[in-house]
Amino acid sequence: MNAIHTSNLWHHSAEETFAAPPLTADLDVDLLVIGGGFTGNSAALHAAREGASVVVLEAETIGHGGSGRNVGLVNAGLWLPPDKVIEAMGEAAGLKLVDALGAGPARVFEIIEREGIECEATRRGTLHLAHSPDGLRDIEDRYRQGNRHGAPLSLLNSDETARRTGTDAFHGALFDPRAGTIQPLAYCRGLARAAQAAGAMICENTPVAELRHDNGVWAARANGQVVRAKRLLIATNAYHAGFEDPFRPEFVRFNYCQFATEPLSESQREKLLPGGEGCWDTAMVMSSIRLDRAGRLIVGGVGSVEDAGAGLHEAWARRKLRALYPALGEIGFQHVWSGRIAMTGDHIPKIVSFGPNAYACFGYSGRGISPGTVFGAATAEALLRGEESGLPVAPVRRHQERLTGAKAAYYELGAKLTHFAAHRR
pLDDT of res. 168? 97
User: Which residues in 214-243 are b (16+ Cβ under 10 Å) and which e?
Assistant: eeebbbbbbbebbbebbbbbbbbbbbbebb
- Distance CA(424)–CA(234), nearest Å, equals 44
The mean per-residue pLDDT over the stretch 288-312 comes to 94
pLDDT of res. 2? 42
pLDDT of res. 4? 59
User: Shortest CA distance to 105 belongs to which of 78, 128, 82?
Assistant: 78
The answer to whether the beta carbons of residues 119 and 16 sit under 8 Å apart is yes
Query: Residue 407: is its pLDDT beyond 80?
Result: no
pLDDT digits (tens, 9 = 90+) for 144-190: 999 999 999 999 999 999 999 999 999 999 999 999 999 999 999 99
pLDDT digits (tens, 9 = 90+) for 245-261: 999 999 999 899 999 99
Q: Which pLDDT band holds residue 284 (cuts at 50, 70, 90)?
A: confident
CA dist 28 → 113, 206, 221, 225, 380 (Å): 32, 16, 12, 11, 17
Q: Which pLDDT band holds residue 404 (cuts at 50, 70, 90)?
A: confident
Q: Which CATH topology does 9-424 take?
A: FAD/NAD(P)-binding domain (3.50.50)
The answer to whether the beta carbons of residues 328 and 267 sit under 8 Å apart is no
pLDDT digits (tens, 9 = 90+) for 34-44: 999 999 999 99
Half-sphere exposure of 24 (CA within 13 A, CB side): 3
Bridge partners, residue 256, by sequence: 302, 339
The mean per-residue pLDDT over the stretch 420-425 comes to 59
| Domain ranges (residues) in the chain | 9-424
pLDDT digits (tens, 9 = 90+) for 202-232: 999 999 999 999 999 999 999 999 999 999 9
Tell me whether strands 225-234 and 27-34 are parallel, antiparallel or unpaired.
parallel
Does pTM top 0.85 for this prediction?
Answer: yes
- Distance CA(269)–CA(273), nearest Å, equals 8
Percentages of the chain per state (helix, strand, coil), in multiples of 5: 35, 25, 40
Residue type, 346: D
Residue type, 67: S
Secondary element (H or E) of residue 136: helix 133-148
- Distance CA(16)–CA(335), nearest Å, equals 19
